Structure 1
Amino acid sequence: MKRRKFVQLSGMGAGAAMLVPSMMMGSSITADALLMPGMDILTKRKLADVALNTARSLGSTYADARIGRYLNQYVFTREDKVQNVVNTESFGIGIRVIANGTWGFASTNSVTEDGIMKATQQAVAIAKANSKIQKDPVQLAPVESHGEVSWKTPIKKDFKSVPVSEKVDLLLSANAAAMENGANFVNSALFMVNEQKYFASTEGSYIDQDIHRIWPTFGVTAIDRGAGKFKSRQAMSAPMGMGYEYMDGLESEKLEGPSGLRLYRNSYDIVEDATLAAKQAKEMLTAKSVQPGKYDLVLEPNHLGLTIHESVGHPLELDRVLGYEANYAGTSFATLDKWKSGDFKYGSDIVNLVADKTQKHSLGAVGYDDEGVKTKKWDLVRNGVLTNYQAIRDQVHMIDQKESHGCCYAQSWNDVQFQRMPNVSLEAGKEKYSINDMIKNVEKGIYIAGRGSYSIDQQRYNFQFGGTVFYEIKNGEIVGMLDDVAYQSNTQEFWNSCTKICDENDYRMFGSFFDGKGQPSQVSAVSHGSSTSRFDGVNVINTGRSV
């Protein structure tokens, strides 16, 4: 990765700078070429059948083929300049087989009958070679044969049809608004993805899907040169499974937060957010440093989503629970004995955490996963008790279940699919209850919005989280901005300290384009929804003080 590219990508979100190259796979093309139609569906079926029939003829008991066309467009700006516009296309096929009870996988960008036959032969050869050391044969949970079906993200405006100049103008307008309101530096970016995926299997499914995602983001920095200090504020946007309508307000919903903070749902005003971000970055320069101690925390969804991701999403991936996967995020404290007990208190009685691959506008929303399983919603934690994990077809028998949860995914045709985190969300409170209601009932607390730095141990148990902006709450009122705030807890203690959750009118989603897992590593996109929630007696530290 060239230094210039690294600088362009830095500041675009936690971990994104190192993982973005994985998303930029493929050949560079023009913006106009993004609009060119891909391979027609009849040709896809014919070529997929070449893979399936070849696999059967070579002794495979199961095979699936994924023909994928992956289109990406990224726009990067800084202050009054365009830094880069990236358009890429990747096209190929991945073939997965079971032969002699063992998985084999191969892929090729030669999407022809001859190229597919050779790749299938390679996949079967790999499976048979690996079977010599396989102790237990693969056990696949049964799946419905769907025949020929299709699914598409319900978008209103395809990003590919929007001129690049319009996107550039929007980002530069946001930059200008930030500079006019006190920012010294600002960068902004738009990430837009279209996955065109065709899945076929020997079990009779032929599934065509068209998936869209978008993420606008920025970072502003204000400097106090006299004091030698600087503060930054990142965007309050959330990546979404939507079209470009997310940027132009076709589904505009703006919620008013404490201290004039704008909270966005299903639409995003990047100019408005950049304006406020500059003002808040300046305010941070003189904000009071927090006094360490126990506080009641009021956490808004854009912040709480990251805590859900790290302390619920990752530790309830079954492969981590079993110790089969430890890359990036470690294993898990939520071991099978806790689940089997039937009474392990993951959280307080009001905590209900669900996995949902069907959630509208979420990053993980698809009709079918990359094993051809129809997606669904299921409980992970109900009334505070651990009830289930995330598992796919060759895993569910390990927890005595008969049906895949439908959360298998590969980042491209060139990668083998495996268990990935679905959307994991905290259900909203049942009674009418707003952010202002919550703040009125807090005597000593801190309101935290947006994501910040964090750390969590390899069992996903002990952790520390920061945020973007912090406001002190005294006797039911916001009294001013705080600085140097981070909270420490462990997963079980934290979720058991949850005492109140706002209702569905406050429900919003946080998301990540770049959730890393596996070796070789892959990234996936996932959302986490919640309403603003209260956690009592949480330990807060001052990150600005030397030890």
Structure 2
Amino acid sequence: MDRRKFMQLSGLGMGALVGAGIPIIGNATTPEHLLETPADAAQKKIMSDIALNAARSKGATYTDVRIGRYLQQFLFTRETKVQNIVNAESYGVGIRVIANGTWGFSATSDVSKEGIAKCAETAVAIAKANAKIQTEPVILAPQKGVGEVTWKTPIVKNAFEIPVQEKIDLLMKVNGEAMKNGAGFVTSNLFFVNEQKYFASSDGSYIDQDIHRIWPTFTVTAVDKAAGKFKTRDAISSPMGMGYEYLDGLASEKIAGPNGLVGYRNSYDMVEDAIMAAKQAKEKMTAKSVPAGKYDLVLDPNHLGLTIHESVGHPLELDRVLGYEANYAGTSFATLDKWKAGNFNYGSKNVTIVADKTQPHALGTVGYDDEGVPSKQWNLIKDGVLVNYQAIRDQVNILGEKESHGCCYADNWDSVQFQRMPNVSLLPGKEKLSVLDMIKGVEKGIYIVGRGSYSIDQQRYNFQFGGQLFYEIKNGEVVGMLDDVAYQSNTQEFWNSCVQVCDKDDYRTFGSFFDGKGQPSQVSAVSHGSSTTRFNGVNVINTGRKI
């Protein structure tokens, strides 16, 4: 690919990608520019002090400043063609203040001394205007300043330093091998994100962070032209908080399951997965349609992560619980009265779910959140009982707590930060238990791998989940592939049906790279870890043809 052709490709289709639900943040640029550094930490400290001083002089009692450079590189292919290459950069300053007991926020791409000072003054003016209609002042949990600190995602290879041609060659190999093994169509994509974020506050923090995320993915389609049918299988990769080393295979831990299924941990073999996907998509063509009824479900982490996300992660966001988020995907059934009772059985005693912003290689892992709060881990559900929520500095007082959970985030410098889901994970079982051992104890069940279509009601209670692959279990053995499977339940019933969790040797993560929330909408990235888990007596429906 010559440079002219590359530049044409890199500028095309950004509007189409946004329309397809893939958010492009910033303006088109070149791969070379993504490796430049517009300002170092010393310069950013000077810029921050300009904002802090300007806000204080206008009457702000609290100020935080976020200087952000957000970089994206997205590559899209189909069969033998490159469909699009996007390189995007966004750079600017967001300033948030409290004045007269009320929040105000303003942002600017003018990073001159005058531009930053004016932005800070505007934020204070907005806060004072808001104060005229606010009935209660903001109560901000105290946070001791941490001084000048840095944090970086512990990467081995910066994905932005890898030549574009090398990445395209990988995707072409993925597509080619899938086609050789029976795929009729295949699309493959690479997503790379780098957030260079500098945070300063009137509490005395100056925090410089360099955050990296990666997501390799594909969809393989097998076609039966004679029958007029097709079946797909998506990648079983997990997006990660890692560098390009995730794709080099050097640190790969492969986890085998029944019928040759393989999970990946720490590193991902995209080509191997594509070959397996092509074969499994073909196998789905002749899979038996599931008889509806009650089944014991054995759920792989790559599938269960989405169920955790929707039925635990979102309903335990405190802003949803309080009704602040009612206009975007609903509120929550897990109301404060259930938490205050101290004995609400969200799940069985096998269910302990933690929120964790420190989990290695997870998407939501950072050193500090966007309020300057150090990352931490805390329990949401302990031995089945609801014990806490996810809350930030201006919310934790509602819970009677004096310290933020450190889960505040904004997806860009011009977005105001608010409560976002941390990594939310089911802890593995304590007793040694493999996937095959778990299956041996199932008389009538289904083993489910990968995320599929799903729906959940506005209070995150009644739901339905599909998947990528379904295998019938009879008398402790996998006997063949099934099709047309979805399970229905409600959150409390489902998690109380959890009877077994495999041990830490099977623990893996699932991730959401573009999780939407808020109005105007923002996206964030979050991981959900678990080991393979068994749920007894779950209602399974047939979603396809009559049987």
Instruction: Answer whether TM exceeds 0.5 for this pair.
Output: yes
Alignment check: 8 A CA contact 1:8 1:76 kept: no
Q: Secondary structure at the match of 2:452?
A: coil
Deviation at 1:84, TM superposition (A): 1.1
CA distance in 2, matches of 1:234, 1:459: 29
Are 1:201 and 2:197 an aligned pair? no
Alignment check: 8 A CA contact 1:19 1:523 kept: no
| Matched residues, number | 536
2:7 is matched with none
CA distance in 1, matches of 2:427, 2:223: 40
Q: Secondary structure at the match of 2:467?
A: coil
Alignment check: 8 A CA contact 2:289 2:545 kept: no
Write the deviation string for residues 114-162 of structure 1: whole angstroms up to 9, x where unpaired: 0001111111111000100001000000012100001000000000110
**Counterparts of residues 40-439 of structure 1 (less than 5 Å):** 40-439=40-439
Write the deviation string for residues 180-239 of structure 1: whole angstroms up to 9, x where unpaired: 000000000000000000000001000000000000000011111111111111000000
Q: Secondary structure at the match of 1:309?
A: helix
Alignment check: 8 A CA contact 1:77 1:187 kept: yes
CA distance in 2, matches of 1:516, 1:499: 32
Structure 1: runs of 5+ lacking an equivalent = 10-15
Q: Which amino acid aligns with 2:370?
A: D
Deviation at 1:546, TM superposition (A): 6.9
Q: Which amino acid aligns with 2:81?
A: K
Alignment check: 8 A CA contact 2:14 2:86 kept: no
Alignment check: 8 A CA contact 2:77 2:189 kept: yes
TM normalised by structure 1 equals 0.97
Write the deviation string for residues 434-479 of structure 1: whole angstroms up to 9, x where unpaired: 0000001100000000000000000000000000000000000000
Q: Which amino acid aligns with 2:251?
A: E
Alignment check: 8 A CA contact 1:327 1:517 kept: no
Alignment check: 8 A CA contact 2:194 2:212 kept: yes
1:444 is matched with 444
CA distance in 2, matches of 1:198, 1:228: 54
Q: Secondary structure at the match of 1:405?
A: coil
2:472 is matched with 472
Stretches (4+) displaced over 6 A: none
Write the deviation string for residues 397-420 of structure 1: whole angstroms up to 9, x where unpaired: 011111100000000001000000
Q: Secondary structure at the match of 2:447?
A: strand
Closer, same or farther: CA 490–18 of 1 in aligned 2, 3 Å: same
Deviation at 1:28, TM superposition (A): 1.1
1:34 is matched with 34
TM normalised by structure 2 equals 0.97
Deviation at 1:5, TM superposition (A): 3.9
CA distance in 2, matches of 1:36, 1:307: 40
Q: Secondary structure at the match of 1:373?
A: coil
Deviation at 1:324, TM superposition (A): 1.1
1:538 is matched with 538
Write the deviation string for residues 282-326 of structure 1: whole angstroms up to 9, x where unpaired: 111110000000000000000000000000000000010011112
CA distance in 2, matches of 1:49, 1:291: 66
Closer, same or farther: CA 342–241 of 1 in aligned 2, 3 Å: same
Closer, same or farther: CA 48–546 of 1 in aligned 2, 3 Å: farther
CA distance in 1, matches of 2:405, 2:462: 28
CA distance in 1, matches of 2:16, 2:26: 19
CA distance in 1, matches of 2:488, 2:53: 55
Deviation at 1:250, TM superposition (A): 2.9
Alignment check: 8 A CA contact 1:239 1:513 kept: yes
Deviation at 1:8, TM superposition (A): 7.6
1:20 is matched with 22
Q: Which amino acid aligns with 1:347?
A: G
Alignment check: 8 A CA contact 1:193 1:212 kept: yes
Q: Secondary structure at the match of 1:19?
A: coil
Q: Which amino acid aligns with 2:519?
A: Q
Deviation at 1:328, TM superposition (A): 3.0
CA distance in 2, matches of 1:91, 1:396: 31
2:517 is matched with 517
Deviation at 1:39, TM superposition (A): 0.5
Q: Secondary structure at the match of 1:467?
A: strand
CA distance in 2, matches of 1:517, 1:192: 21
Deviation at 1:35, TM superposition (A): 1.1
Are 1:506 and 2:506 an aligned pair? yes
Deviates more, 1:326-335 or 1:414-423: 326-335
Deviation at 1:329, TM superposition (A): 2.2
Deviation at 1:327, TM superposition (A): 3.4
Alignment check: 8 A CA contact 1:8 1:83 kept: no
CA distance in 1, matches of 2:154, 2:415: 26
Closer, same or farther: CA 196–7 of 1 in aligned 2, 3 Å: closer
Deviation at 1:38, TM superposition (A): 3.0
Taking only the aligned residue pairs, the percentage that are identical comes to 71
CA distance in 1, matches of 2:15, 2:43: 42
Closer, same or farther: CA 403–18 of 1 in aligned 2, 3 Å: farther
Q: Secondary structure at the match of 1:206?
A: strand
Write the deviation string for residues 346-398 of structure 1: whole angstroms up to 9, x where unpaired: 00001000000000000000000000000100000000000000000000001
Alignment check: 8 A CA contact 1:314 1:329 kept: no
Q: Which amino acid aligns with 1:104?
A: G
Q: Which amino acid aligns with 1:343?
A: N
Q: Secondary structure at the match of 1:494?
A: helix
Q: Secondary structure at the match of 1:438?
A: helix
Deviation at 1:34, TM superposition (A): 1.1
Deviation at 1:26, TM superposition (A): 1.1
2:3 is matched with none
CA distance in 2, matches of 1:335, 1:443: 37
Q: Which amino acid aligns with 2:299?
A: L
Q: Secondary structure at the match of 1:451?
A: strand
CA distance in 2, matches of 1:412, 1:545: 45
Structure 2: runs of 5+ lacking an equivalent = 1-11
Q: Which amino acid aligns with 2:22?
A: V
Q: Which amino acid aligns with 1:371?
A: E
